[in-house]
Amino acid sequence: MPGIRENGGQYTHAAVWVIIASACLGNGDEAVELFHMLNPINRTRTASDLERYKAEPYVIAGDVYANESHAGRAGWTWYTGSAGWMYRAGLEHILGIRRTGAVFQVDPCIPSTWKDFSITWRIGTSRYEILVSNPERRCRGVGYTTLDDQEVDSRSVPILDDGAVHTLRVVLGQRVAPAAKPDGAETPASTRI
């Protein structure tokens, strides 16, 4: 019988872990579809949706009830555990940005329909303009990466705290040597998840 809290329709911690698992398996289409399902903004698009959800559209809920009396209602909002995991699912596992000490990596797992996306990341005194192109319409797999027009390993991009603006270009696709890079790589437009 449908319940509430952990026995409800959606226990957000576990649901977010399914997003992360999908991304780890390389299924960007499924990972982002699930991300959209959990995103509270998508549960509050109309006045009737908001009345059913009964919580802020910008705050992840710890759970969403399935009990007939409270179906679709959010519980435990401002619950930092679920919010932290949702943030990590989006940033680290879908967009693929992970920092480790003085380096970071970019290894996205996105829907095959995404042509490109961009991220502006301020770290220390520097700003990174990260431009990801997906010309082969893949979910995963970095073909090549350049930092300020110099090839760099996407798994170990140096963090340069020098006050400058740095451009990191990541192209998904078959791994290619620098001389074999496709011409006319486009600058990505912003894609929101």
Q: Is 122 helix (H, G, I), strand (E, B) or coil?
A: strand
Angle at 147 between CA 110 and CA 25, to 5 degrees: 25
The pLDDT of residue 178 is 58
pLDDT band, residue 192 (cuts 50/70/90): very low
Say how far residue 185 (Cα) sits from the centre of its chain.
22
More confident residue, 118 or 12: 118
Q: Kindly calculate the radius of gyration of the chain based on its CA atoms and give it in whole angstroms.
A: 19
pLDDT band, residue 177 (cuts 50/70/90): low
When the candidates are 3.30.360.10, 2.60.320.10, 3.50.50.60, 2.60.420.10, the CATH number that belongs to 98-180 is 2.60.420.10
The ranges of the chain annotated as CATH 2.60.420.10 are 98-180
How many residues does this entry show for the chain? 193
Residue 185: pLDDT over 60: no
